[in-house]
Structures are given as C-alpha cells and as structure tokens.
Structure 1
C-alpha cells in the first residue's frame, strides 16, 4: 500500500485531470433509427451529459451555423388569381395540390406545395400559397346597399354613380328571370332614365303605385306648385348588374329587383340582389378549376390539414 504522504507523480496528476474532465463533459452518442417509422433520418447524433446522466440533442447548436433553410416553409399571400397561378407554377412539384373554400363569407384558394401523395412518406405540408379573393370596391358598394331603403335623391345618385356596372340582359336572362319574377328586364339606358326622372321629382310627393296590364309598374308624382298634376314614371322591375367581384377578376352578372315603398307621399327606394352569394360561389369554383387547369394540379373543394 502506498504512503498517503508520498506525493503523486506528474503522470498520475494528468490522469486524474483527464478523468475528471471526461466525467464533467458530454460525449457524442450515435443512435440508429431503423424500424422506428418513416420520416426519420437513418441515424441520430446525441450528446450524453455524464453529470446529469441525460441525452441532449445537438440540433439547436448545429442550427446556429446553418447558412440556408433546411426546407421551404411559410405561407405566401397573393392579391389576384393570376399571381396565384404564377407563384404556384414557380414552386410546385408533382405532389402539390390545390384546395378551394368556395362558400361565403371567406372564400379562398390554398396551394399546398409540399403535399402528401398516397404510397409515399408524409411530407411537412407547411409551404403554402393563399389567394383570399379580395372584393372590389364596386362590388362592396352593391352588397352594402342590398335591400337598404334610400331616399329618392340618394337612390338616383347611386344609380348615376354605378351606371358603368349596369348590363343589358341576354335572351337567356329574359327567359330565366322574367317569368320567375313576373317582371320585365330593364336595359341600362332605361335604368338611367329612371334616375333622371327621380332627380326631377325629388321634391314631389308620390301619389300611388300601380301595375299595368303589360306587367310594368308606374308611380305617379304630384307637385303642389303645378296644381297637383300627376306625372307617371315607369319603374323597371329587374335589371342586370355586371361587376368584377374580385380584384382583377372576371365580371359577375347578378339580377337585381327594383323596389319602392310609399307612405304618406314619402317614397323609399331599394334594390334586392338575387342570390348574389350563389353567383360568387360559382365564380370561385370557376377560378379553382381555372387554377387547376393552368397549373396541372389536382383541385379539391375544402381545406387542407392544419
């Protein structure tokens, strides 16, 4: 047995230092992942902390030195259908897919560029492009005024301001909607003529509203300073609105019924857009199909996995 008072030689001191350092430091351990499932690398490199007797990932340390992204991820937002198609074409691969939520109030198209495919390992599904169909100001104005009663001067001004968004009915429109509403379609010029008449009679009192045998409706106005002379104004029953619903998008044609209410000589005007949500949904479905055709990707109505 060695004498405890005998000093240690230099070699023993270095050996003790080495053993102490190794006990306090971490060591790298390689772990194979064969048979543990898809989506894992073939092996993992872990750090074993001898002091705490725990394994730790060295990935956060390695990530500090990464000079390029590990993979594409994130969501790009575009403002037009054309931009959506162009950007999808730029990033797509054979497994990319399109999804479309076509119902109001939040229609949008989503391209999942790193989507899954049956028979291959799952992918991350985290690289996406979204087109949210931003509405035009013109369409917002028509929807905002839908079924809202207006005074005669305000209604006349509204028709004047939106004259460019009035369209002539087609023969198919007349066939479909005139029997449905039992009303006659008005041309844009007839609607504008109505606005001119309303401007003339803005201070007059409405006497009565009647329906003629032709199906047209007539409102008679009286002006006290002209011996209460009745002035008839023919009121169109329905007219066609044709306006781009989405920024830089195709025009959407929506029938609108023209209505009024008379109470004690005071008249209020309003229009009712016929099933405008249906026509927008139809347009969104058309745009989804167009995006699918132009990108060559499959399209599905609905939303992808979160």
Structure 2
C-alpha cells in the first residue's frame, strides 16, 4: 500500500520552523579557564556555531562596541629631556623602568611604564615613552664638516659663522690636550682672528708651512702684487668646540684638531673633532642618570624587550 503522509497542521509547521532556526543559530557558552593559564579571565564567553560545529570568539564583536580602551598602550615620542621626564612622571607606577641606549648613531631613552618584575604578574610592556635625542643643526654642521678639506675662503667663512660655538679651554683641558696632541690650544679670539686673517690672504700664494718649538704652526703668504713679500699667520693646533648636541640640551665640549696642507701654493684647511662619539655617549649617559634621579625609577643601559 502506498505510504500515507499526514499533513502538518499550523502547530507542527511552527515547531519544525523553530527546530530549524535553533539548529542554525549560535549558542553563547561560558568556558571555564581557572587554572589553565595566567593572565586570562576565569571564564570566557564563546559562541558555538551549530551549523559548522565550531567555537568562535566574541572578542571581535565586543571590541566593535568599546567606548574606552581596555588598557594603556602605545608609544609617545618627545623632543626634549625635560618633556621625557615630565611625561614619565605623569604615567609611571611602582614597576616602571627606564632603558638607555647610549651608543651612537641612534641613542635613545625608553620608559616602559607597564613593565614587570620577579614576583609580580607579567604585564604587557606596551605603554612606552621614547626620547631619541634629536641633534641640533649646529652640531650636525660640525660633524658633517669634520675631516672635510675646505678651500681657504670657505674655511674662513665657516669659522666666522660658528664663532659663537668656540669655547675657552679650561686649565685642565689645556694640560690634557696640549700634552696629548703636542699642539698649542687656541682661545676663541685666536680662532676668530685666524679666520679674519685668512679672508685677507684669500688671493695670496702660500710660501711654506713650518712648525715652531712652541707647538704652533705657521703658514707664510706672499701677496702676488707685492713682490713675494712674506706675511706669517700663526695657526693653532687645537681648539675647543662647545655646542648643544641635542635639542634644548646642555652644550657638549669637544676638542678639535686644526690642520692644513700647502699644495701648489694653495692652502687646504680641515679640522677633526676628537672622539665626538665618546663625548656624546657620556652626555647620553648623564641624561639617563638625570632622568632616573628626577623620576625615581631604576635605569638600565640597553633596550627593552621587543
């Protein structure tokens, strides 16, 4: 006999429809995580997709409706040491730390505000403040030209332009560097006088360069229209540069050796900043100590974890 099917009434149709919808709809479940891992909630809400038989996280959906961040994170960049200290003071807590990368070419102070330590639950280490020691234009100019040969007129103009950055040597500097270089140290006025003398003799021929027993060097010039009349200029061997290396920072004192070469009756001048990277490293180290003292935070030479 052929099968007979009983037609569904309205109630049966609604029941089938409800069962179909229920089987296709996800179910919100709570997964207990206590004891499974540190740093996670004791229970996690998840959606169970009956159709695909998979679990899905609700976090992306929840994040869409967030009106405030769940924690502080991100990296602030400041341009001066004073701003670095002030901003660290604003956000620090008892476990914040400072790191200092003191070596050139990219020194940097980094405050990790949400750092962790032994005996304390691990933190995210993702809220930071960075001070990257932006260099001043004046210091860049001294470094860029160090060791570069310059014609007499250009060198005279350079010394004149940067005369405000010349410093009188202290007694200790005179004793140390005259002994080290076997050269006489110059005062700022002597270096400025040299630049002005060079401007006078810019069209003259150099006769010779000699070294005196005093440690000074002498270059003699002859005016072409004066029948080779010799004019002597004392050339100091070392002078002090005092220039802020970092924006709004303290001046850094660096000795510079002054040199020239006489070739084919022309003089080529150049200077060499002595171990300028060492003096900048000292300055960065002092700034790290200053920041640690001002904020009361521990400081380490190096870089934090990535």
- State how 1:168-183 maps to structure 2 within 5 Å: 168-183=168-183
Aligned to 2:85: 85
Q: State yes or no: 1:159 paired with 2:159.
A: yes
Q: State yes or no: 1:62 paired with 2:53.
A: no
| Distance in 2, Cα, partners of 1:5 & 1:257 | 109
- State how 1:223-302 maps to structure 2 within 5 Å: 223-302=223-302
Report the count of equivalent residues: 304
Shift in Å at residue 68 of structure 1? 0.4
- State how 1:1-306 maps to structure 2 within 5 Å: 4-306=4-306
Shift in Å at residue 255 of structure 1? 0.2
Shift in Å at residue 17 of structure 1? 2.0
| 3-state SS of paired residue (1:30) | strand
- TM-score normalized by structure 1? 0.97
Unaligned runs of 5+ in 2: none
| Distance in 2, Cα, partners of 1:193 & 1:6 | 117
| Distance in 1, Cα, partners of 2:52 & 2:104 | 57
| Distance in 2, Cα, partners of 1:215 & 1:58 | 80
| 3-state SS of paired residue (1:260) | strand
Shift in Å at residue 34 of structure 1? 1.4
| Distance in 2, Cα, partners of 1:8 & 1:215 | 117
Shift in Å at residue 53 of structure 1? 0.2
RMSD after superposition: 1.1
- TM-score normalized by structure 2? 0.97
Shift in Å at residue 5 of structure 1? 3.5
| Distance in 2, Cα, partners of 1:233 & 1:6 | 123
| Distance in 1, Cα, partners of 2:275 & 2:265 | 31
Deviations 1:203-254 (A, max 9, x none): 1111111111222111111112111111111001100000000000010000
Q: Which moved more, 1:142-151 or 1:108-117?
A: 108-117
| Distance in 2, Cα, partners of 1:80 & 1:242 | 19
Q: Which moved more, 1:136-145 or 1:117-126?
A: 117-126
Shift in Å at residue 4 of structure 1? 4.5
Unaligned runs of 5+ in 1: none
